Amino acid sequence: MRFFIFSRERRRVETERTGRKRRASVNLYELDHITQRYDGRLVLNIPRLSLERGRVHALMGPNGAGKSTLLALLAFLRPPASGRLTFGGIPAGGDPSSLLALRRRVVLVDQFPVMFSASVYANVGYGLRARKIPAGRRRQRIMEALDRVGMAEFAARRATGLSGGETRRVAIARAIACAPEALLLDEPAAGVDAARQIQLESLIRELGEERNITFVVATHNRAQAFRISSSHYHLFRGCLQEFPGDNIYPASLVGAGKTWSVRIAGLPDLPLAGPAGGEERILVRIDPDALVPAPRESGTETGISGDVRIPGTVVRVTMGRERVRLLVEAGVPLTARFSLSAFRGSPVYPGDAVELCCPPAALSILPGEDPEAASEQAPASGATERFLS
């Protein structure tokens, strides 16, 4: 039953969801000089962004960075303050009927999805009923979608009695049952146990390949973002930043006089190269090119006195032409970049235990407002920095 819809019915489902054959254009979304404001305050500023059709795009950034604001624009729930947004070559104008047609081609699963006071089966079928799908095909698609997220046995259960993780899985089933061209997921793994997270990541990849669905996944989990996608975008405060988005964390300053360190949740205190002061809450960047990996407990003397050795586990190794990119889970996801020759001299692989040598010069304090203040300003404040891994 699981793959039934992907063979004999795939062409019919795609015609049903678009009303025509799929367009040949490479990019599904095109954003040109898009801005969004709340109460006169600029919260999103994207000079240019193209999202390729049929790919999984990971959207990263801290709380209040603008991820939910961008997803709402991509779902056509609210218009931008300025700029041009197109979907499959069609401009998203202000005409209500054209916006409704675009909304039916996109589904947004919120971070905290709402369930109607009805059965799980009825909740998953809601969008299909609104699209006037015949009852026979509706039942088939409801059960197939529930099976894909491991919730088929919950079909008769009351949806309002589910746990947070179960609710999220039903919401995803409700979304994929509608056969959208684009599926937007806001923190889909929040409240889901580790085993279900792995299943969810596999489902995202499978649906992207099987149904040519374009995914935009907003997540705090950088390790997850790199597992599911090779197209990464990092949203970070008011405008497009020049520095890359790797290794940026909210932190606290600790110390006095000329001796200061930064405290990042999940990491040991990291000393700064010089005196600091001013704001107690800051944003810190750890330069990926300054981190030096070494096998844990190898006896290798790496770094110099004053460097901090951060233990972790390798999640992903990406080979480039001249450099290697290492993603390490160390309490927080950390990226290190180093030369191919250094990698060949001391190779590491996913699953290996390593230590990252972090010198004080690797740390820099980013200018700007208190990182916690943005997350307190509703709704979804912030703006954008894009980086491609």
Residue 283, both tokens: 């944003």
Nearest to 107 by CA among 183, 205, 15, 187: 183
Residue 252, both tokens: 């606290």
pLDDT on residue 138: 94
pLDDT < 50 positions in the chain: 1-24, 238-243, 299-303, 368-389
Side chain identity at residue 168, one-letter code: R
**Alpha-carbon dihedral sign for residues 368, 373, 375, 377:** negative
pLDDT on residue 279: 55
Nearest to 232 by CA among 11, 56, 351, 368: 56
Residue 226, both tokens: 């790199």
pTM over 0.85: no
Which residue is associated with the tokens 């950390």?
334
pLDDT on residue 367: 58
pLDDT digits (tens, 9 = 90+) for 184-219: 999 887 767 777 788 888 888 888 888 889 999 998
Tell me the domains of the chain and their CATH numbers.
27-241 (3.40.50.300), 248-296+307-364 (2.40.50.100)
**Alpha-carbon dihedral sign for residues 58, 64, 68, 69:** negative
SS3 352: coil
Nearest to 58 by CA among 260, 177, 208: 208
Environment class of 324 (CB within 10 Å of its CB; exposed 0-12, middle 13-18, buried 19+): buried
pLDDT on residue 67: 86
pLDDT on residue 305: 54
Residue 181, both tokens: 């061209």
pLDDT on residue 229: 83
The C-alpha atoms of residue 101 and residue 85 are separated, in whole angstroms, by: 15
Distances (CA, A) of 176 to 111, 148, 173: 16, 9, 5
Task: Say how many CA atoms lie within 13 Å of 268 toward its Cβ.
Answer: 14
pLDDT on residue 66: 83
pLDDT digits (tens, 9 = 90+) for 212-262: 899 999 987 777 787 888 788 877 764 444 445 578 888 888 887 778 889
Q: Which uninterrupted H or E stretch holds 4?
A: helix 4-7
Environment class of 153 (CB within 10 Å of its CB; exposed 0-12, middle 13-18, buried 19+): exposed
pLDDT digits (tens, 9 = 90+) for 70-96: 999 999 998 899 999 999 999 987 677
